[in-house]
Chain A
Amino acid sequence: EADIYQTPRYLVIGTGKKITLECSQTMGHDKMYWYQQDPGMELHLIHYSYGVNSTEKGDLSSESTVSRIRTEHFPLTLESARPSHTSQYLCASSDRDRGLNEQFFGPGTRLTVL
């Protein structure tokens, strides 16, 4: 089982609140990712990082922001949550030195914005 953790697992929050979804990995991986997953839809990459102080936006436009101050930590922040942000958020990491860009996923955070 992958050593990548996400908290909280479930979050129900009101519109306009600021939230931070936590993601940590203990595998020393350089690359980390945030995906959004909705039922019946493909995983959409919303942010990624290739190392400390490196962050990039993914393919899916997102109002969230990320930071990468430490190798093991890649939090995602929503400044003002809206019902359209309701989704499953998956954090993943991968090792640049492996032969394949295998993604190791956390268990996900299911966010509901009322």
Chain B
Amino acid sequence: QKEVEQDPGPLSVPEGAIVSLNCTYSNSAFQYFMWYRQYSRKGPELLMYTYSSGNKEDGRFTAQVDKSSKYISLFIRDSQPSDSATYLCAVMKTSYDKVIFGPGTSLSVIP
């Protein structure tokens, strides 16, 4: 079983839509949950992270972790064409541990 799983998409939404990107993980020892965004022909960059369960909001982005179901979500409100990218979820057991990445979900926001 893979440690982190994501629906690869592609997901295509109209501009202004609310986007929900999801991830599941297998090991309950993971405590840190991250979302990386990767634009075409670029390397991934950290978008936001959360520790343990709960929500974290940053502008139009909200990250949500449900440790009881081992489920991670990223919500994007008022999606923009500039949000078109691949979104990779990632997990760690500790803050200095190696990072385990999911395969990413490709998102296209159509103007």
Instruction: State whether these chains interact.
Output: yes
* Whole-angstrom distance between the Cβ of B26 and the nearest chain A Cβ: 13
CB-contact partner of B8 in A40, A43, A100, under 8 A: A40
Q: Are B32 and A42 in contact (CB under 8 A)?
A: no
For the complex, give the distance between the alpha carbons of A108 and B44 in Å: 10
Q: Are A42 and B43 in contact (CB under 8 A)?
A: no
Q: Are A43 and B101 in contact (CB under 8 A)?
A: yes
Interface of A is mostly: loop
Indicate if A54 sits at the interface (CB-CB under 8 A).
Answer: no
Which of chain B's residues have a CB closer than 8 A to the CB of A4? 43
Q: Are A103 and B99 in contact (CB under 8 A)?
A: yes
Q: Please give the number of chain A residues whose Cβ is less than 8 angstroms from any Cβ of chain B in the complex.
A: 23
* Whole-angstrom distance between the Cβ of A56 and the nearest chain B Cβ: 10
Q: Are B45 and A42 in contact (CB under 8 A)?
A: no
Which of chain B's residues have a CB closer than 8 A to the CB of A2? 43, 45
* Whole-angstrom distance between the Cβ of B11 and the nearest chain A Cβ: 14
CB-contact partner of A101 in B8, B43, B97, under 8 A: B97
What are 21 A-B pairs at a CB distance below 8 A? A2-B43, A4-B43, A35-B101, A40-B103, A42-B2, A42-B100, A42-B104, A43-B88, A43-B101, A45-B98, A92-B43, A99-B95, A100-B32, A101-B92, A101-B97, A102-B34, A102-B49, A103-B36, A107-B42, A108-B41, A108-B43
**Which residues on B are within 8 Å of A, measured CB to CB?**
2, 4, 8, 32, 34, 36, 41-46, 49, 88, 92, 95-104
